[in-house]
Amino acid sequence: MTQPVSLGLTLQKFSIHDGPGIRTTVFFKGCPLRCSWCHNPESQSYRAELLYDAEKCTQCLRCLPHCPQQAITASAATDRNLCRACGECSDHCLHGARQIAGRAISPAELLPQLLADQVFYEQSGGGVTFSGGEPLSHIDVLETLAQESKRHRLHVCVDTCGHAPAESFRRSLRYTDLFLFDLKHMDPAKHRLYTGQDNRLILANLRLLSDFGANIFLRLPLIEGINADSENIAATLAFAKTLRLRQVNLLPYHATGRSKYARLGRADETGEQLKPPTPDRLEEIRHQFAAAGFDTHIGG
């Protein structure tokens, strides 16, 4: 267990939205997609990044002399071209204004943290969830962690955007109890427009998992004007009917996390325009999937 795993900000303990029961979620850093509605933008880059919260910063400048790159300015802002995300500044900020997203940790260090809550997993039917970013981008580390989790009889979920080599999915089948599989759009051109990649590999991987008989919760993020229209929902439903799915989760867009774009020094170009479908439209979509025989939930 020597490979390092690059995590996002933290492990999430006592998570109840990343699979059944009470879970610990491991966020791998790095994702092949760039969804315009992403509420975890700190998980997109494969490199460590500095999050700087100007609202928490008192401009005391305690951090300034500790930056080896001279990246911190006299107004306590950060020159992103100089910053190497070393984390020295965050160690010296008393106000929590500076945090590093992405730290290397070995599976051997991580595993005890996953096992610590075993009693809660057992009582609630929970376990561990590997999420991201895209966990299958880190297949060797994922395999080590998931196999060790299974050796301790933990329930293992993999939360995936589906964009990874088919071979990685084949390997993950050996130790994954449940896949939380996101599907963003059925039209390849629109998928590319909104996420940066087309959907061919994603649809093929979803078919591969279904043909193998994997347990799959299909998760549909729903954004008004992007993928909640009748045409896309009909196409999604038609495809879903050809698969073996345990559950369908409808995930209406929410704006939580948009402030992280500013903290990463990135412009939030689309945030203001994004909206969830209306409650009536959401219920209509739920009814369509439920009427087709799917165990369908809003949220999850």
Decide if 105 contacts 7 (C-beta within 8 A).
yes
Minimal distance, residue 201 CB to ligand SF4, in Å: 35
Nearer to ligand SF4, 85 or 128 (CB): 85
Minimal distance, residue 40 CB to ligand SF4, in Å: 20
Nearer to ligand SF4, 98 or 138 (CB): 98
Rounded Cα gap, residues 29 and 150, in angstroms: 22
Minimal distance, residue 205 CB to ligand SF4, in Å: 36
* DSSP SS3 for 265: coil
Decide if 113 contacts 24 (C-beta within 8 A).
yes
Nearer to ligand SF4, 57 or 145 (CB): 57
Minimal distance, residue 39 CB to ligand SF4, in Å: 23
Minimal distance, residue 269 CB to ligand SF4, in Å: 24
Residue with tokens 């939580």: 256
Decide if 145 contacts 113 (C-beta within 8 A).
no
Nearer to ligand SF4, 69 or 118 (CB): 69
Nearer to ligand SF4, 8 or 276 (CB): 8
Binding site for ligand SF4 (CB under 6 A): 50, 57-63, 67, 69, 71-72, 76, 78, 83-89, 93, 95, 97-98
Segment (H or E) for 112 = helix 107-115
Minimal distance, residue 99 CB to ligand SF4, in Å: 10
DSSP symbols for 19-83:
SSSSEEEEEBS--S---TT-S-GGGTSSS-EEEE-TTT-----SSGGG-TT--B-TTS-B-TTT-
Tell me the CA distances in angstroms from 276 to 176, 253, 298, one per residue in order: 31, 5, 12
Minimal distance, residue 106 CB to ligand SF4, in Å: 22
For 226, counting Cβ atoms within 10 Å of its Cβ (0-12 exposed, 13-18 middle, 19+ buried), the class is buried
Decide if 107 contacts 144 (C-beta within 8 A).
yes
Other beta carbons within 10 Å of 82: 13
Nearer to ligand SF4, 63 or 218 (CB): 63
Rounded to 5 degrees, φ, ψ at 238 are: -60, -40
Nearer to ligand SF4, 18 or 49 (CB): 49
- As beta bridge partners, residue 182 has 219
